[in-house]
Structure formats: C-alpha cells, structure tokens
Structure 1
Amino acid sequence: MKVVRLIIENFRGIKSAQLNFDGHALMVGSNNVGKSTICEALDLVLGPDRLNRFPPIDEFDFYNGKYLVADTDPAAPPQPIPLRIEAVVIELSADVSTKCGGHIEFWHTTEQRLLEPGEVEAANPPLVLPCLRLETVGRYNPEEDEFEAKTYFSHSPDALDGELSTLPRPIKRLFGFLYLRTLRTGSRALSLERGSLLDIILRAKGVRTTLWEKTISRLRGLDIEEEAAELVPVLRSVEKRLARYIALEGNGNATKVHVSELTREHLRKTMTFFLALSSDQEHVPFAHAGTGTINTLVLALLSVIADLKPDTVIFAMEEPEIAVPPHTQRRIANYLLTKTTQAFVTSHSPFVIEKFEPSKTLLLTREHGVVSARKVSDATGLKDNDYKRFSRSGLSECMLGRASIVVEGVTELHAMPVVARRMEEQNPNLQPLDIAGVAFFDADGESNMPKFGKFFKTLGLRTFAFYDLDYKKKRKPEQAQALAENFEINKEHAYKGFEDLVVTEVPAERLWAFLGNLKANDDNGNLAIPDERPDDDAVKMIARGALGGAKGAGWCARLFEECEFDELPSTAVKFLAEVFAKFPPPPPIIENEGGQANMFE
C-alpha cells in the first residue's frame, strides 16, 4: 500500500498543502517548513492509535491555534474551524480491498488525479488503479468543551447525505503505518505500552498472551511486608488512625503494599525490557543503554515488523541519523528503501540524503502557511549522475544550509575555509560562516559551476562563486551569462590558477618558511627544495610547483595556517569579506540594571 496524495488544511503550521508522492519520499527543507507536520498528518489519517488519545488533538493542532471564528451575527456564538487531512492510498492489500470495497475509487497514476464518476470506462490498469480516499476531520465541540477527531472514508456512497462513513480502527491497522518520531521512539520502543514497537509486533503476530493474568496473580500473592518487617508497625499505625474516621470491616489487615496497581495498563507502563551489553555487565533497563544502542535496537524491531508485513509497511521516520554513526545511518536508509512499501523520511544527514534518488527527494517550501513540494530532479534540472557523484562530496551538506560558496577545485575547497576561520578569529564581530549556514562546495571545474549554482539557487540558497581568470579566452558568452545569473557574488579573480594567486599574494618569506617546514618534516617527497634560500622569484617558482603538484594534499590550507593574518592572500580575504557582509551577526545581548537581557539592533 502506498500514499500518492496528501491534502492538509488548517493543521499546525500548515494552512494548506497538496502533496503528491511517488513511492519513497525524502523530505528536505529549512527548519519550520512543515516536515514534521506532514509526518504528524500522516499519523492522524493512517495511524491506528493516535486518535485513541484523549483528547486526540488540542488547540495547537490548528493553524495558528485558531479553532473558532466569529459568526457574522455578533449575537451568535463563534463557529468551529475544522482541520482536515486527506490521504489517497493505492496498491490496496487483498484484505483492505475486500473489507472496503464499497468505498473504492480509481486513481490515474500518470495524471495524478481521481477519476470522475463518468470516467468509469477509463478505469483500466496499469495507468489507473483502485484507491481509497481517507480523511481525518478534527474540530472543537463547544457543547462538550472538547476537541474531537475522527477518520472517515471520503467516498461513502451508503452514508446519509452530508455524512461520511467512519473508518474502523481494525481497518486502519491493516495499513501497517508506523510513525517514528525524533528522539521519542527509543524511550518506549521496547516497552509494552500500547503503540510501542514491541506491542505492534505482538499484534502483528496475533499473539494473545496470558501474561497479564499470570503476572497480576503472582504480584498479588507477593508479600512485601514479609520481606520488609519495618513497614508493618507503620501500616498498622495508619490503620488505627483510619479506623477513627472510616469503618474498616475487611478481613485481616486493612492496608497492604503491592509493587504495582495490578492493572494491565499500569503493567504496560512499568514492565521494562532489560539487556546485557557486555559479558561483565548485569542486565540493565534498555533505556539506560546508549542512545545509539537504543536506536539500533529500534532498527532491529523495524526489521521484524517488515518481515511480518512485507506488503503493508508504511514508515514515517524523522531524522533517522539521531545518535547513530554514519554506517548505521546508511543501513537504516537502505533498510527503509528496500524493506518497506513506502517510507517518508526527514533528515539533515548527508549519509541519509545520498541514499535517496533526486526523483525521490522532495524540496518543501512554505509561504504564508501554504506548503508545496517539488522533486529535486524536476526543480533544479541537475542530472541524476551528477547528483549521485557529488552527493557525498558536499552536495548534501550544502542542500541543508542557507548558502553555498562554489569553488573550482579541491585546493580552494581546502584552503578557503581556513581563510574564513582566520578572519573569524581576527574579528569576533563576524558571524562564523558555518553558524550562518554557509558551506563550501567543489564543482570540480569551472564548467560545472553554473549548473550547481542553478541547483543551489533553485533550492532557495544564496550562491557565491570564486574561480580563475579565463586567461585563454575559452569561456563562451553563454557560460559567462550562466555564471552571472546563478551567483549573487560572481568572483573571477585575476590569476590563471589559485596557486598563482597564492604565490603572488603571500610574501616570499612565508613561502620559503613553508617550504623549509616541508623539507624539515620530510614531507616534500620528490620536490627538490634547496638548502639555501634562492631569490624571491625562485622561491615563488618552487612554491608554485609544490602547491600545483600536491593539490589533494591540502598544502595551500597548511600554508594559510602558518601565515600571519596580514600575510593571507588579499583577493581571498576580500571575497570572503563580501560573503560575511551578507550574514551579519545577531544583535548583541546587553543586560539592563535589573539583570534582564535585552537585544539591541
């Protein structure tokens, strides 16, 4: 089963949204764009347990917290504003098709729309598939002073006019929807609370355990007082005082101590999964394990669920990278892509993002409460091969930021961040570029820079370019125009290569000291460095050969680390100063006389 369309109205930070999905979906976008809200919306309309909470929704589940609107008649009471979430689901399982046959409609996969009643003859596979349209409606009930929410079949031909048929909870369970919230999943994944992963596994297996009856019986027979005789005088004293006000007519002692409330629900909350993490350690509650271990345990449970329901597992998962190393992040992403029928993922990790094809990566944008989504492949025009090739080498990191500095090669990629950091150390009033969300990206050649500038610009990032002089005059007019159009700061420096810039603008004395350090540390390899200092031109020539012949070694960056600040190349410093100016620091915090903090522009 797969979700192909989701409509959201008046829910949390989303005033309205209509999103189309084609299988797995990685959702990326700035903070507060609505990624988590989309996951919560899916849980409301597809999840079997969310609506069992009391209340199922609250004031802040409505857009801007507004759930009432004044009537046009001033004397009339305010009218409720409903929230509504609609999902269209295709590839229905046999069970769902059988039990929901009267509510089935048809979805045109290429036109991404429902067929109208008069188009029944067009309902032919594979372009047109049976579907279910489900909607959750939530509103405030003034009479009961409560918030209510229910899920319905949007197509309810047997219901009374103006009404919809309720979607039964057992049918919802057949959808196999799981929502794994950031940070909140591990703490109860291995508990027996309703809706926990362990509880879902037991239900999926159809286990009807006698655990509760047997455990309650044993706990009831456990005599705490026998093991803690010091409690007895206290309890009997309490009984005597109670007897002054209440007739205690039961047989035996009127007070007794138990280890729980002896109810199923209380046991669900108190029973805890223990595990031993090493041979020299006793079993401990799983919540006391490291966060990475807990999340890995969650992954193990997910694999059990996927094996139980291979055709009906839909996951919504927030930031699977939390507290797990990169290789585990990749495993989780790969698991979601290969072992589930559909996965909705939000992430800020390059190791997760690189696993998703650009056609499966949705860029979310939000304007005045209206959220829209575009496939990265459609929005930017970047080819899949380029996306895959560069995703691990900086593309994903830039996508998650606010701006990208696109450079021509690996030398600049290593060296320019050093200049930026030295500038930040020199001037504490500068906002560090990494805090500002600015990342460096190596386009691997000037010819690639326009397409990556367009890619980042289309994603809503600010773009800055730094590249070599076209001294051979090979740059075509359309290339120059593309550079100008796609970069806010479009810096063509005055040198035919970055190494020429460095040896020209860094003092010869510093270059010689750098070469001397290479030789002293035996890092120069086959590079011949004389014992005696030659003239400045010879020093520059040797340094040029050293820097140009070891681009991947990061020697330019190493040289910049050794420079005094005023020895750094001025062209690079001036370019980065323009970038820093685009991201001024936040206003300073100044405490007033009362000790309270005020911010001044």
Structure 2
Amino acid sequence: MRLIKFKIKNFRGYAKETSIDFDDLTVFIGKNDVGKSTILEALDIFFNDGKGTIKFDKSDLNINDRNNGDTETILTAEFADVPDSIVIDSSATTSLKDEYLLNENGNLEIVKRYKNGGAEKVYIKAIHPSNSECAELLLKKNAELKKIIKDHNIECANQTINSVLRKAIWTSFSDSLNLKSAEIDASKEDAKKIWEKILCYLPIYSLFQSDRKNSDSDDEVQDPLKEAVKEILHNTAIQETLSGVAEEVREKLQDVATNTLQKLKELDPDIADSLSPVIPDVQSLKWQDVFKAVSISGDEDIPINKRGSGVKRLVLLSFFRGEVERRLKSGSNTGVIYAIEEPETSQHEENQRKIVDALIKLSGMPNVQVILTTHSAYVVKQLQYNNLRLILDEQNSKTVRNVSPGQLRYPSLNEVNFIAFNEATEEYHDELYAYIEFQNWKKEFINGKPTRRYIRQCKGNEVKEEQKVLTEYIRHQIHHPENTLNPRYTHEELRQSIDEMRDFIQSMGEMPPEPYEN
C-alpha cells in the first residue's frame, strides 16, 4: 500500500488538523523550527506504535489545546493500492470494498487517537452503512449476525462464516444502507481481525534523523543495518521459515514441560496439578530483538553513532545507493518508507548530489516512498515541484502547501521563499534576471520603463555615465560591489524590481520545454 495523505491534529505545533499530501518522493522545506521534523516523527509514532525512534507522551500535545482541555491527539493516514482481498482466517476471504471499509476516494483511511499521550485507539474511517438494522456488523459476533438473518428472513446458505453473513445482510438492505462516513472501531470482533491483516500490508517506516545524540543507548536510528533487519524480517518467506522454527521449538519445549510435570506428579500430585508450562505464542515473538546488536563498526569496533557526522552520512549515502541496486536485483515487493532528515548534513555538494540522486532513483522503484527534510537550495534544485511541500506558520496555525511552478521552470528555494514569506533576496533577483536574459526577453522587458543614471567604472579609472532601468541598476550593483559611485538601492526597490520581473515573465505565457540552467 502507498501513503498518499497524512493528517495531524493536536501534536506539538500542529493544533488544528493539518493535511499533507505524499508522493513517491516528498520533500519538506521551510524555516527552522517550523515543524518539518514533527511530521516525520508523527509518522514514526503512527507506523511504529511508539516502538520506533520516537516515544510519544503527553508532553507532545499542543500546549494551547492541552490548556483548553483538549487532550486527544489524532493521526490519520490514507493509503492507495489496497489489497484486492484479505483472508481473515483459513476459511474466510473478504475485501475492504465488500466490508465497506474504503473512504469516499476508494482508499483505506486509518485513524489513530491518543488520549493524553497514552496508547493508541485505532479506527477505520470509511463510507459505511448507517442503517441501524445493518450497521456495525463488523463489531458483531456470529450469533448476533445469525439473529439478524433470522429476524429479517434473509437467505444465507453458509452461516458459519461472518463475512458471508454480513454480505447477505447488506445485500438484503441494498436499497436502504444509508451509506455515510463513519469510524469503525478496529479493536473488536472481525474489525479487529481485519485490522490485524491490514498491518501486514502497511509499509515499513524507517526514520533516519539528523545527528543529535552520540550514546550507545541512543534510540535514534544511526545504523542503517538496524532498519534493514526490519525489512528483511518483513519478508513473507522468511516469516514462514522463522514461524516454522519457532513452532518446532515450542513443540519440543511443550514435550519437555509435559514430561517434567508427569515426573513431578509421581512425587507430589498436588504441586504438579498447580503448575502449567508458559510458552510464548509464536506470533508474540520479537525476532527483531534477536538482531538488535547488528551494526557497521569501524576501527577498534567504534560504532557508527560514535563517528563523525560526515562519516555517518556517508554510510547512510552508501546504504541508499546499495538499496537501489539490491531492489533492482531482487525485485523486492516489501513496502517501505524511508524518512530522512537533512540528507545534506555535513556533505559537500558532490555528495549531496549523489545521495539525492540515489534517493530519487529509490523513490522511483515499486513499493518505495522517500520523505526528506532539507534546508539546502542545492538539494531543492535537483527536485521537481511536485516533490516539494512548503510548511508555513501563519497566525499560530501550521499549513503545509504543495508547491506549484512559479516564474522559473526549475525548483528554486529563493522563489519558494518569496512566494511563502515574501522574502526578496539578491539571489532571487539574479535568478529572475538571468532567466529573462536566457529567454532573450530583455529588450521587451526594459522597453518603456523609466531609467536612472548609473556611473560605470571602466579600465584605467575611467567612468562612463549610462541610463539603466531599475532592474539593470540593481543587477549591476549586485555584481559590482566595488563600484561605490552610485547610491545604493533600497530593499523596497529590490522588491519592486522582483515584482516587475515576475509580472513580466508571467505575461509571456507558457514556459519553453527545456528548463533553465545557470
């Protein structure tokens, strides 16, 4: 399944419900402390139930909501590409569609509610029958479903399988289902069984955070091998093998325990009768803990989380580049989401290019999504507009916006910042001016605009007086700071010039097919 939307409510800086769209590659940009990492950490809580990198508690509630008495955090994920069928048990096959467990978009929508930072309560939000005669069938026992069948004289040949009973009931009420949006409690009866099966289809979520701690007990993901273990153990064939091993061990342990108690009974029947073997169920075994010591270590067995930031990021770069090759060779179909904070950290531009290139390739593979945060304009310029999500903090309310193409054909952090924050910079002025020159539009742009005197410094200390429009005047001052013969332009004039260039480029209509390159 593929994550296409995520909603956050009452979690840290996100008070009101904030909706976020996801693609195969999604990159969050915005000012420091605007809430980029919060989204990645909320996803970790959603997917890993507090057993991943992030531990959830009541301090994560939005402080204003908490002070106003709202102590419930809500995290909602919407998934496309849902499985065609789900086997509840060996004799019952059904589908999310047949069980009315898809939302208005035909997708699976999972809602997790957390009271006061406590344990999750899971619901499936769907367009579901609300007619009291046939509502909440997923929460009813077999006997209750049979009673509905009997009371309404509904034909149903096989009354031992709940999914068959539900289908018969809903078919009988097909003209009066009264379908409405509802949240179905996933902790009871067949709704719980279906949720347990859905868990097998959810993608693995792996969060790689920026370097923050360096202790051996650091809960943050520092070693990619630990994340590889999760994906490897998620493989169906390996799960079946491990389950077989565990079952064989369980049976042998049962034999040992039974023999021991039989011998004890010969000595003291009362004590023997009061004892019974406690052997964990196969499904409860945590195979990941068996491999928790895996690591990539260097000289003198120094673990990665004790190495420098540059080394840690290079290992991470190599992991993702290796994942591209491994998935190409193996054809892996395990769904996985890689979430990486600031992959450019402690890397020069060439390594930034390599790691982003690897992540772009990885995100293009089946069953893989990549989520990034970045502060690097260099990284942003390697992406497409549809990859970008701009986080804004407007009047103490967070919004996450999809970035649409603006005046420039390539993604520009300067342009994004201008659109989002009305931030006028010399770098953005240069980009717009260079784009106009590249398109051979300069004559049209300056035509009819007022000019001002500009004194040019020439060779041999000669000076030359020229007339320049405002945009040219600013351009010359940016590129010739050594020339102090002209009054410095103001910030208001810089903004005016940027606005004029943006309006002009917009007036020229559709951009050419090839992107502009510096």
Q: 2:50 is matched with which residue?
A: 50
Q: How does 1:98-177 map to 2 (within 5 A)?
A: 104-105=96-97, 114-115=103-104, 131-140=107-116, 147-155=118-126, 158-159=138-139, 163-165=185-187, 167-168=195-196, 171=199, 174-177=202-205
- 1:317 to 2:314 alignment: no
Compared CA separation, residues 338 and 446, structure 1 to 2 (3 A)? closer
Q: 2:304 is matched with which residue?
A: 286
Query: What is the DSSP-based 3-state SS (H/G/I as helix, E as strand, rest coil) of the residue aligned with 1:14?
Result: coil
Q: 1:494 is matched with which residue?
A: 452
CA offsets 1:204-249 (integer angstroms, 9 cap, x no match) = 464899xxxxxxxxxxxxxxxxxxxxxxxxxxxxxxxxxxxxxxxx
The separation in 2 between residues aligned to 1:30 and 1:147, in whole angstroms, is 30
The separation in 2 between residues aligned to 1:396 and 1:471, in whole angstroms, is 25
The separation in 2 between residues aligned to 1:35 and 1:374, in whole angstroms, is 12
1:35 Cα deviation after fit:
2.1
Compared CA separation, residues 292 and 84, structure 1 to 2 (3 A)? same
Q: 1:347 is matched with which residue?
A: 374
1:14 Cα deviation after fit:
0.8
Q: 2:431 is matched with which residue?
A: 442
Q: 1:372 is matched with which residue?
A: 399
- 1:17 to 2:18 alignment: yes
CA contact under 8 A between 2:5 and 2:77: conserved in structure 1? Answer: yes
Pick from 70, 88, 92: which aligns with 2:82?
92
The separation in 2 between residues aligned to 1:164 and 1:21, in whole angstroms, is 25
1:83 Cα deviation after fit:
1.0
The separation in 2 between residues aligned to 1:294 and 1:342, in whole angstroms, is 22
Query: What is the DSSP-based 3-state SS (H/G/I as helix, E as strand, rest coil) of the residue aligned with 1:3?
Result: strand
Compared CA separation, residues 472 and 24, structure 1 to 2 (3 A)? closer
Compared CA separation, residues 395 and 448, structure 1 to 2 (3 A)? farther
Per the normalisation by structure 1, the TM-score is 0.49
Which residue type is aligned with residue 203 of structure 1? Answer: L
RMSD over aligned Cα, in angstroms? 4.8
Compared CA separation, residues 312 and 185, structure 1 to 2 (3 A)? farther
1:395 Cα deviation after fit:
4.7
CA contact under 8 A between 1:353 and 1:396: conserved in structure 2? Answer: no
Query: What is the DSSP-based 3-state SS (H/G/I as helix, E as strand, rest coil) of the residue aligned with 2:452?
Result: coil
1:88 Cα deviation after fit:
0.9
Q: 1:63 is matched with which residue?
A: 62
CA contact under 8 A between 1:57 and 1:149: conserved in structure 2? Answer: no
Q: 1:382 is matched with which residue?
A: 406
The separation in 1 between residues aligned to 2:11 and 2:232, in whole angstroms, is 32
Q: 1:540 is matched with which residue?
A: 463
The separation in 1 between residues aligned to 2:394 and 2:75, in whole angstroms, is 19
CA offsets 1:473-499 (integer angstroms, 9 cap, x no match) = 2x5xxxxxxxxxxxxxxxx6514xxxx
1:339 Cα deviation after fit:
1.6
The separation in 2 between residues aligned to 1:59 and 1:34, in whole angstroms, is 18
CA contact under 8 A between 2:13 and 2:398: conserved in structure 1? Answer: no
Query: What is the DSSP-based 3-state SS (H/G/I as helix, E as strand, rest coil) of the residue aligned with 2:310?
Result: helix
**Higher RCO (Cα < 8 Å, 6 or more apart):** 2
CA offsets 1:404-458 (integer angstroms, 9 cap, x no match) = 236xxxxxx7xxxxxxxxxxxxxxxxxxxxxxxxx65331369699xxxxxxxxx
1:368 Cα deviation after fit:
4.7
Which residue type is aligned with residue 112 of structure 2? Answer: T
Q: 1:143 is matched with which residue?
A: none
Query: What is the DSSP-based 3-state SS (H/G/I as helix, E as strand, rest coil) of the residue aligned with 2:139?
Result: coil
Compared CA separation, residues 21 and 447, structure 1 to 2 (3 A)? same
Q: 1:429 is matched with which residue?
A: none
Compared CA separation, residues 299 and 158, structure 1 to 2 (3 A)? farther
CA contact under 8 A between 1:330 and 1:352: conserved in structure 2? Answer: yes
CA contact under 8 A between 1:291 and 1:323: conserved in structure 2? Answer: yes
The separation in 1 between residues aligned to 2:95 and 2:45, in whole angstroms, is 19
Q: 1:4 is matched with which residue?
A: 4
The separation in 2 between residues aligned to 1:320 and 1:559, in whole angstroms, is 35
Query: What is the DSSP-based 3-state SS (H/G/I as helix, E as strand, rest coil) of the residue aligned with 2:455?
Result: helix
Q: What number of residue pairs does the alignment pair up? A: 362
